[in-house]
Amino acid sequence: MCGRYTLRKGLSSIAEKLGDYALESAPEDIAEEVPRYNIAPTQKNLVLRKSFENPELLQIARLRWGLVPSWSKTPQTQTPMINARSETVAEKPSFRAAFQRRRCLVPADGFYEWKKHKGANLPYFFSLADESVFLMAGIWETWVGEHNQQFDSFTILTTHANALMAKYHERMPVILDGDRIAQWLETDVPKLSPADQHELFAPVESDHMVCRPANPIVNNNRSDGPACLEAPASNPLSQLDLGL
């Protein structure tokens, strides 16, 4: 799964990953976005979606993490829907409409996962080997309340873990690159063959990723800053699990 992630780099680094797409001009508050080291559910975070004005551009917006279906009676769900399984997202009532019509990309440059050791949950940080920005597959939805309250929210798609990730969790985010970005944003995914869908949602190869211990302060969603990535020297799994 993906329950916390980072985005330490700016819009220029995000734009480099978009291939043939370009970004709309960003609002001033987004253009000046500060580095984030511990993005948590229910917070508003950057998402890229097709522009409402020009379908050749991607709009960058700040949406709440944790999808709330349009038909929900309240702006909160019993369990925060921060992830959607890629294998069943087209069938689940909570995700089906958004999957068909409202797909997006969620920029990040790392994410956290936890592993238990002697009763303690120890965090680990996963990133691409070069620590560059990557784009996670997402879907978004608009919720409107009885008194015209309105907000947009999103969730991140997950897939089965690669060999590296499987040591820590059975799931990981769907990370898109190259032609898969356009395939996700443009095509009618349900009409793809099972083999093509499997390829679209395949996990990133293990040799393209790295993992290292992180600081337990990330357990607190109010913690945010470079210290989140400073692993305590006392982490008992830091040498064993990383094969060092």
Angle, CA 167 vertex, CA 113 and CA 17 arms, to 5°: 55
The answer to whether residue 2 is catalytic is yes
Q: Could you tell me if 108 and 146 are in contact, meaning their C-beta atoms sit under 8 angstroms apart?
A: no
| Percent helix / strand / coil, the chain, rounded to 5 | 20, 35, 45
Does residue 89 come out as left (phi exceeding 0), alpha (psi in the -120 to 50 range) or beta? alpha
Annotated active-site residue in 104, 113, 141, 228:
113
Query: Where does residue 186 rank: exposed (0-12), middle (13-18), buried (19+ CB within 10 A)?
Result: exposed
β-bridge pairing 171-173 and 134-144: unpaired
- Annotation marks residue 228 as catalytic: no
DSSP assignment of 79-136:
S---EEETTTTTT-TTTHHHHHH-EEEEEESEEEEEEEETTEEEEEEEEETT---EEE
DSSP label at residue 190: G
Is residue 76 helix, strand or coil? coil
- Phi-psi bin for 45: left (phi > 0), alpha (psi -120 to 50), beta? beta
Q: Cα separation of 31 and 27, whole Å?
A: 6
Q: Which residues are catalytically annotated? A: 2, 113
